[in-house]
Homo-oligomer: A and B are copies of this chain.
Amino acid sequence: MSGNTFGTLFAVTNFGESHGPAIGCVIDGCPPGMALSEADIQADLDRRRPGTSKFVTQRNEPDAVEILSGVYEGKTTGTPIALLIRNTDQRSKDYGNILQTFRPGHADYTYWQKFGIRDPRGGGRSSARLTAPTVAAGAVAKKWLKAKFGTTFHACMAQIGDVVIPFESWEHVPNNPFFAPVADVSALETFMNELRKSGDSCGARLRVVAQNMPVGLGQPLYDKLDADIAYAMMGLNAVKGVEIGAGFASVSDRGSTHGDSLTPGGFQGNKSGGVLGGISTGQDLDVSIAIKPTSSILIPRDSIDVSGAPTEVITKGRHDPCVGIRAAPIMEALLALVVMDHALLHRAQCGDVHVDTPDIAAANRA
């Protein structure tokens, strides 16, 4: 309600600031009886962690998660799961020089206008660092969905700046620092090295897919599955666009070719991206996002200071030249949280959740 809780039945309340004592979240609504340990969560946190290559921020955070509650003798109890991550490498002095000015394209202006208070420590709460608790919560949702329905989540880079990345295979994603689904990332390395030297930043396009999806998830009229996916993705830092399935390519398409034909063996295409009328079809969910260039750059920009006078801003400190590079695990987490919440909601109203494409008989069960 007050903005820092994601989901309703699997509700994740996020807290913390980039350079405060700690960040974390409380997960309320996790089903009881699931095996869960810190290791289950740490793996995804490590994929999102800063400092793992020269193409991302050099801040060194172990992001070690501690489970404070909700797990007893290795199993979830059905009570809130509190997750705590202590901040360790908060060099706030790096930000001292920006306290009196506003970075073009950055949230420091709007936070100041909204709250009348400014927390300059690494962007405070507007920092991308606050996606870590989201990733941690997403790991819990992923585990449950995989155990229950076999549902899995995979994200990858589709474009960095001008460099379009063809999709070769999910297998390549963990093998390069860009989460790129290609074997050869030399073009990306060249591009990013030049970008870093120029002191500039760039945007990115990413894609996330959920496989083995239950059918029937999503609520009419407003809380559609795709509406909640768009909410989740657009709420991720720096995102300016969201597409599901064919996305903006739908505009110039025709009805005679757009709708995915059905056959006894399944759908003949996935322009829908796995959602029709706001409800999952059982096909793969397929979602893309556009991420804008980071606003914290070494190139001077025109701006104003807190008294309203004109000034020039250069942002030193440690920043991602392409914030999209670390976004893949976050997208997976966000999509998993949306699916998890809808799976529980569907179970509440309709009593079961099933996976089948297209299983007509299933509908007679309800």
Contacts and interface: CB of A to CB of B under 8 A. Distances in A.
Contact of A220 (B125, B307, B358): B125
A250 B310 CA distance: 26
A255 B28 contact: no
B302 A262 contact: yes
A147 interface: no
Nearest to A2: B29
Interface in A224-272: 224, 226-235, 237, 239-256, 258-264, 268, 271-272
A138 interface: no
B264 A304 contact: yes
Stoichiometry (number of copies): 4
A109 B114 CA distance: 35
Interface residues of A, number: 165
A151 interface: no
Interface string A300-320: 011110111110000000000
A220 B119 contact: no
A183 interface: no
A261 B112 contact: no
A187 interface: no
A104 interface: yes
A365 to B, nearest CB: 7
A346 interface: yes
Please indicate which of the listed interface residues A32, A221, A308 has the most CB atoms of chain B within 10 Å of its own CB: A221
B360 A351 contact: no
Interface string A1-14: 11111101111011
A363 B108 CA distance: 12
A75 interface: yes
A276 B106 contact: yes
A349 interface: yes
B360 A304 contact: yes
Contacts of A24: 68, 82
A72 B119 contact: yes
Interface stretch (A40-48, A168-176, A198-206): A198-206
B253 A348 contact: no
A326 interface: no
A221 B69 contact: no
A276 B233 CA distance: 15
Interface in A173-230: 200-205, 215-224, 226-230
A264 B310 contact: yes
A145 to B, nearest CB: 14
11 contacts: A3-B224, A13-B13, A77-B117, A111-B220, A114-B346, A114-B350, A203-B253, A226-B234, A230-B235, A235-B278, A253-B293
Q: What are the 5 closest A-B residue pairs judged by CB atoms, nearest first?
A: A107-B277, A105-B259, A3-B219, A116-B366, A227-B235
Given A14-B222, A105-B276, A250-B293, 20 more contacts: A2-B9, A3-B222, A4-B220, A11-B13, A13-B26, A13-B80, A15-B70, A17-B69, A106-B259, A112-B363, A113-B215, A113-B363, A159-B252, A226-B235, A227-B231, A240-B273, A241-B248, A251-B290, A255-B299, A259-B295
